[in-house]
Amino acid sequence: MLQARGLTKRYGDLLAVDDVSFTVEPGEIMGFLGPNGAGKTTTILMLLGILKPDQGSATVCGEKVGPAHKETRRLIGAVSEHSFLYPEMTVVDYLSFFAGIYRVGQPEKRIDEVLEELMLVKRRNHLAGSLSKGLQQKLSLARALLHEPPVLILDEPVSGLDPHGMREVREIIIQQRNRGKSILLSSHALSEIERFADRVGIIRDGRLLVEATPAELQAQTAGVLKLEVELDRPGEPFEGAVRKIPGVVAVEHDQGRMSITIDGSNRAQARQSVSRTLTGAGATILGLREVKGSLEDAFVTLTQAGTSPEGQAP
Amino acid sequence: MSSRLGSDLHTIGVLAGREFKMTMGSASTYTALGLALGLAGWMLSNDVALVRSNGLLVHVAPFRGPLLGALLVLSFFLAVSAVLSVARDRDRGTLEVLFYGPIDEMTYLAGKLAGLLGAYVAIMPLLLAGLVVLSMFTRFEIGINLIAALVLSIIPAAGIVAVGLLLSAAAKRVRSSILFFITAVGLFVGAAVSYSFVSRIPVEDPASPILPLRDALGAVDAVLSRISPFTYLEQIFDAADTGAWTAIGGSLALSLAGTIIASLLARLALRWRGVRTREE
Amino acid sequence: MNRPARFVVAALVAVAAVLIGFTGLDGTDPADAAREEFVYYPLVTNGFEYRRVPYPEEVTTIQLLAEEPVAFDARRSVVAFWPITREYLADFAKLDESVPGVAEVIDEHGVVTAFEPQPYTLWYPRGLSGEPQLVTGNEAQQTYDTYVEEGRAAFEADRQYQMAVARLQEQIDEWLALAADGVEPLPDPPGELTEPAPEPYVAYAAEPALAPIVQLPAGSYTLRWRGDDGQIVAGSERELAVSGATRSGVAYTIIPYDRWTQPIFTFDPNESIYLAEDQDVFLAPLPVSRYSAFVYTRLLDPQTIDAPDRNATLWVPDETDPDLTGNSVQVTSKGEVVDKVAWLGYRVFQEPNATRGYYIEEFEADGALRPDFNAMRLPLDRSVTEVGLIGADGHAVANSSRDVRRVPAIPRGALYLPALAFIGLAISLRFFLPRRHHMRQDSQTV
């Protein structure tokens, strides 16, 4: 289990992380989302024990995490956004080195298992620096899995991978989850998170805005309505009028198709407002339908400035 | 406590092993060794030429200068390796990855120190073999005292590595670490060379301004000599000249103390600078 | 300017400031006015010569040689700082007032020893160019009296000889006059003088004087002067630093056969002698002792600026012209004695039109001729590995052995072979190592 309690970190006047608390249970994948500069990386570094929090604490399987508790890091397998490798080492040498660091029992056997799992067997004697970015990322994941830690902290684990590789890695992550590991997964690939994360936490300006399952999140953002409107002409001239409708948070158009995101609980009123506005502006509505809110929608809504989790302006 | 110490020692061993393999497998190591032996060969060739031209040469230890010169070249190489090591790890992010694991500043630096020092110890027999070949060619004697000095040079070598690691830990990037190193070397060498040069200027006029300048440079050189691990290397060779090994005990103890202090400062520097290339 | 560069600039400025600050510190104020002071004016020695050296109050330490007698003299004089030579000098021409009294020496344990004045003389048995001895006590007067007596006798002998020479010259002049006059029969010319010329008397002894004679073992002491009134004279306290030789041994003058006027010296017993394969040399041993250079240079010149390094040492001969009759150089080859070469005289014979121009042979006594040098000739045997001095008593003299090695003629480039081997290894590692080459090929296909 991975637990963060009231993690807070300041850099001078900047409050980078503000009282962040969450728990990742064994056998659970928690997605960790936030815009750039929200405090994700700082939170992860505190969870890894590389940064000391100004307040709060983190534990892994009940053991304290911090710069003074380096042994706890044996319980964590971490992959960062950038695959930092020793380019002059071969794949197997790299894994052997870390097997030594983590005191992995029967290292040769374990390395073979991991290479098999991550489909890197054919690359075992290749220099790490000669691998593609995607393969380097897989190698980093192999390193993180080598010592079979109960907790995995993965920052962009599928970065640089092709769809085939992404699926492979996703399956591995799910497999690890099924083996009872607690997995914290930070990614910009929201569709991926949506597909296999058990819970999602969204951080903005250092604060954890919400921690919920994807379904709960979508339910929380049920007030977010997305209308797909088909017009008889390009929707660009009508964008300005539609944006003025109260509750409209986003308008996209593509030729005759217009996609309108409305943050509001009164769907019927919202539909009527859109129809009235468009027809009043001279457009002919050929079709109008509601689209189910996605995680991306929830993310965009929650992380936009001036928006609260309850869908109300602060 | 003992299991934690055992765990730390194991980690240090793994880190040291990697550093050792990397150093011993690097072309630059053998280039440095070649340059060291080249310098030794050049110094000896001057003495051989003297014997040829004068018919005879009297020398207390003809290998003293060549061996000291060779060790200075190797120590310089060791210093550069140490200066680049931490900064390079930080630059390419591998330092951060290491700290995802059960590694702290002390085990990391101890591993670096042990690895580089281990490489120095491994290089010494190679150097000695080269010098033995030169001794066979010239019939110049190496002497047991110089071999003892070679062995004892490990102690100031540890100091050199520790200071190099300190500079590297304090630097943000490889470029900065090189700049720190060049500045430090410039300061030490500049002070020593200036003092040596000024001391050799014959002074016939006691009112000459050279004298107070010599005193000033001597004072600066004396202070820097206490700090510089290269000074202790020279002191070992002075002891080898006179056979006064007990007198060198105090200097070696100081050198070890300097190594410990530099290592502790390196730890602080690493903690202060952090393990990431860029702080968020 | 970024931070590292700022750091470098700051460091350079700090160093420059320190240097400028130090150059302002001189330690002496050349404007010191002359003043009346108590001045020691002892007859000090460096083991070879004795010299009177003034020690004004500003010179707080007197360096002395262990177990060598020093005659201490005390004066009052006018002392001033002389900036040209950066010394405090006593102007005895202005004021030279003797301060009678007793020298008291206090050792490290606080024990006070008083040295009363006694007679002394400087005795030069081999003339003023030779080494003097400080003779003290009753023997001083006896030595002087003997010198006066022998000097007079030698003078008289020489006078008699000169008179005999003059008489002979007269006889020769008379005979030449007879020959010139064509006198027949011409008598036999006067014969040569039968008596040999007397040896010139070169010895010298100074007239005895009175002074406390201080002779101490190595150590640190305090010196003070107790006047005739029983009080310690103000300004008389000085530190006495008495030092002995740190090591003794035998030095060798190595005289190459083909460059006999340009000898090379080996003082340090740790030194080895490296000879060209066919180099012929002579060895002239010389007993030596090692001293601290700082101390030794200040024995006769306490205010000198020379030899500031306290770690430096120098070797000094114990005597300049030792008589090593009965001594020999033992020549060893790989631990086995192969020869013993006696100490002999050698003469250099000129050989016009020859390549070298001279040859060297053992000296054979012939009238008044003397050898050009005395030495021991090293055998040309290339297997010789060590030489050492054997005393007249047949025992090896301590610290007299030297390793001897013959250096072969080798091409200069051979000395770079070990370096080239490792450079070659470096190139192989960098460019030709198979594994890396294989990996580089593989990387092109990834």
Helix axes B64-91, B229-242, angle to 10 degrees: 160
pLDDT greater than 80 at residue B112: yes
Please count the other Cβ atoms lying within 10 Å of the Cβ belonging to residue B72: 16
**Contact between residue A311 and residue A224 where contact means Cβ atoms under 8 Å apart:** yes
Q: Find the CB nearest B216 among C19, C254, C275.
A: C19
* Closest chain C C-alpha to A176 CA, distance in angstroms: 28
**Contact between residue B248 and residue B235 where contact means Cβ atoms under 8 Å apart:** yes
| Residues of chain A numbered 118-137 and touching chain C (CB < 8 Å) | 123, 125-127, 129-132, 135
Neighbors of chain A by Cβ distance (3+ pairs < 8 Å): B, C
Q: State the DSSP H helix or E strand holding residue A282, giving kind and residue range, or none if neither.
A: none
Q: What is the pLDDT of residue A311?
A: 37
Residue segments in chain A with a per-residue pLDDT below the cut of 50: 305-314
Q: What is the pLDDT of residue A40?
A: 86
Residues C315, C321, C324, C328, Cα dihedral to 10° = 50
Residues A115, A120, A124, A128, Cα dihedral to 10° = -110
Condensed to tens digits (0 to 9), the pLDDT of residues C260-306 reads 888 999 998 888 899 988 888 999 998 899 999 999 999 999 998 87
User: In the 8-state DSSP scheme, what is residue C232?
Assistant: B
Q: What is the pLDDT of residue C1?
A: 57
Q: Please give the backbone phi and psi of residue A59, each rounded to the nearest 5 degrees, phi first.
A: -135, 150
**What distance, in Å, lies between the first and last C-alpha atoms of chain A?**
34
CA angle A231, A236, A239 (to 5 degrees): 95
Q: Are strands A199-204 and A28-33 parallel, antiparallel or unpaired?
A: parallel
Condensed to tens digits (0 to 9), the pLDDT of residues C202-247 reads 999 999 999 999 999 999 999 999 999 999 999 999 999 999 998 8
Asked if B101 lies within 8 A of A71 by C-beta distance, the reply is no
Q: If DSSP codes are grouped into helix, strand and coil, which group holds residue C376?
A: strand
Q: Is B115 left (phi over 0), alpha (psi -120 to 50) or beta?
A: alpha
Q: How many angstroms separate the CA atoms of C309 and C298, rounded?
A: 13
Residue B127 or residue C326, greater confidence:
B127
Q: How many angstroms separate the CA atoms of C435 and C446, rounded?
A: 17
Residues A267, A269, A274, A279, Cα dihedral to 10° = 140
The candidate with the shortest Cα–Cα distance to A75, out of B100, B275, B2, is B100
ipTM rounded to 2 decimals: 0.85
Task: Specify if B251 maps to a domain.
Answer: yes
Residue in chain A closest to B91 (alpha carbons) equals A84
**Which of A130, A131, A139 to substitute to test the interface with C, most C CBs within 10 Å?**
A130
C442 touches chain A (CB under 8 A): yes
Contacts of A87 in chain B (CB under 8 A): 92
Residue in chain C closest to A132 (alpha carbons) equals C446
Task: Specify if B210 maps to a domain.
Answer: yes
The candidate with the shortest Cα–Cα distance to B109, out of B123, B99, B122, is B99
**Radius of gyration from C-alpha coordinates of chain B:** 21
Q: How many angstroms separate the CA atoms of B169 and A276, rounded?
A: 67
Q: Is the peptide bond before C185 cis (omega within 30 degrees of 0)?
A: yes
Q: Which residues pair with A185 in a beta bridge?
A: A31, A154
Q: What is the pLDDT of residue C9?
A: 76
A88 touches chain C (CB under 8 A): no
Asked if A125 lies within 8 A of C443 by C-beta distance, the reply is no
The candidate with the shortest Cα–Cα distance to C365, out of C350, C345, C348, is C345
Q: Find the CB nearest C276 among B55, B138, B187.
A: B55
Neighbors of chain B by Cβ distance (3+ pairs < 8 Å): A, C
Domain ranges in chain C are: 33-244, 247-286+317-407, 417-445
Q: What is the pLDDT of residue A221?
A: 60
Q: How many angstroms separate the CA atoms of B101 and B112, rounded?
A: 16
**Residue C412 pLDDT grade (very low, low, confident, very high; cuts 50, 70, 90):** confident
**Contact between residue B220 and residue B195 where contact means Cβ atoms under 8 Å apart:** yes
Asked if C19 lies within 8 A of B220 by C-beta distance, the reply is yes
**Contact between residue C294 and residue C61 where contact means Cβ atoms under 8 Å apart:** no
- C-alpha C280: how far from chain center: 27
Structure tokens at C307: 């030899």
* Closest chain B C-alpha to A153 CA, distance in angstroms: 10
Please count the other Cβ atoms lying within 10 Å of the Cβ belonging to residue A180: 11
Q: What is the pLDDT of residue B267?
A: 93
Q: How many angstroms separate the CA atoms of B196 and B231, rounded?
A: 14
Asked if B176 lies within 8 A of C4 by C-beta distance, the reply is yes
Q: State the DSSP H helix or E strand holding residue C26, giving kind and residue range, or none if neither.
A: none
Q: Domain limits at B205?
A: 2-273
Asked if C268 lies within 8 A of B54 by C-beta distance, the reply is no
Structure tokens at A30: 């928690």
Condensed to tens digits (0 to 9), the pLDDT of residues A176-214 reads 999 999 999 987 766 777 777 888 888 888 888 778 777
Please count the other Cβ atoms lying within 10 Å of the Cβ belonging to residue C149: 10
The per-residue pLDDT of chain C, averaged, comes to 86
Please, is C393 exposed, middle or buried when counting C-beta atoms within 10 Å of its C-beta (0-12, 13-18, 19+)? Answer: exposed
* Closest chain C C-alpha to B268 CA, distance in angstroms: 18
Q: What is the pLDDT of residue C244?
A: 92
Asked if C272 lies within 8 A of B58 by C-beta distance, the reply is yes
pLDDT greater than 90 at residue B124: yes
DSSP string, A210-274: EEE-HHHHHHHGGGEEEEEEEESS-SGGGHHHHHTSTTEEEEEEETTEEEEEEE-S-HHHHHHHH
A87 touches chain C (CB under 8 A): no
Q: What is the pLDDT of residue C445?
A: 43
Q: Which residues pair with C82 in a beta bridge?
A: C87
Asked if A90 lies within 8 A of C442 by C-beta distance, the reply is no
pLDDT greater than 80 at residue B44: yes
B196 touches chain C (CB under 8 A): no
Asked if A100 lies within 8 A of B103 by C-beta distance, the reply is no
**Contact between residue C408 and residue C278 where contact means Cβ atoms under 8 Å apart:** no
DSSP string, A243-255: HTSTTEEEEEEET
Contacts of A143 in chain B (CB under 8 A): 97
Asked if C446 lies within 8 A of A125 by C-beta distance, the reply is no
Task: Specify if B103 maps to a domain.
Answer: yes
What integer is the mean pLDDT of C141-166?
94
Q: Which residues pair with C299 in a beta bridge?
A: none
Asked if A102 lies within 8 A of B101 by C-beta distance, the reply is yes
Q: State the DSSP H helix or E strand holding residue C317, giving kind and residue range, or none if neither.
A: strand C313-317
CA atoms within 13 A on the CB side of B127: 32
Q: How many angstroms separate the CA atoms of A131 and C225, rounded?
A: 90
Q: If DSSP codes are grouped into helix, strand and coil, which group holds residue B247?
A: helix
Task: Specify if B280 maps to a domain.
Answer: no
C197 to C146, C157, C192, C201: CA distances (angstroms)? 22, 9, 12, 12
C353 touches chain A (CB under 8 A): no
Q: Find the CB nearest A132 among C440, C442, C446.
A: C446
The candidate with the shortest Cα–Cα distance to A151, out of A28, A66, A43, is A28
**Which of B12, B100, B273 to substitute to test the interface with A, most A CBs within 10 Å?**
B100
Please count the other Cβ atoms lying within 10 Å of the Cβ belonging to residue C108: 9
Asked if C443 lies within 8 A of A135 by C-beta distance, the reply is no
Q: Find the CB nearest B102 among A11, A73, A88.
A: A73
B217 to A283, A299, B224: CA distances (angstroms)? 90, 68, 10
Q: What is the pLDDT of residue A196?
A: 77
Structure tokens at A171: 């399956």
Contacts of B136 in chain C (CB under 8 A): none
Q: State the DSSP H helix or E strand holding residue C167, giving kind and residue range, or none if neither.
A: helix C138-181
Neighbors of chain C by Cβ distance (3+ pairs < 8 Å): A, B
- What's the helix, strand, coil split of chain C in %, to 5? 25, 35, 40
Condensed to tens digits (0 to 9), the pLDDT of residues C2-47 reads 666 677 777 777 777 766 655 554 444 544 578 999 999 999 999 8
**Contact between residue A36 and residue A16 where contact means Cβ atoms under 8 Å apart:** no
Asked if C419 lies within 8 A of B37 by C-beta distance, the reply is yes
Please count the other Cβ atoms lying within 10 Å of the Cβ belonging to residue C419: 22
The total of structural domains in chain B comes to 1
Q: Find the CB nearest B94 among A11, A73, A84.
A: A84
Q: What is the pLDDT of residue C33?
A: 75
pTM of the predicted protein model: 0.74
Q: What is the pLDDT of residue C436?
A: 52
Q: How many angstroms separate the CA atoms of A199 and A208, rounded?
A: 13
Condensed to tens digits (0 to 9), the pLDDT of residues C181-206 reads 998 898 888 888 888 888 889 999 99
Domains of chain A: 2-212 (3.40.50.300), 219-303 (3.30.70.100)
Residue in chain B closest to A129 (alpha carbons) equals B92
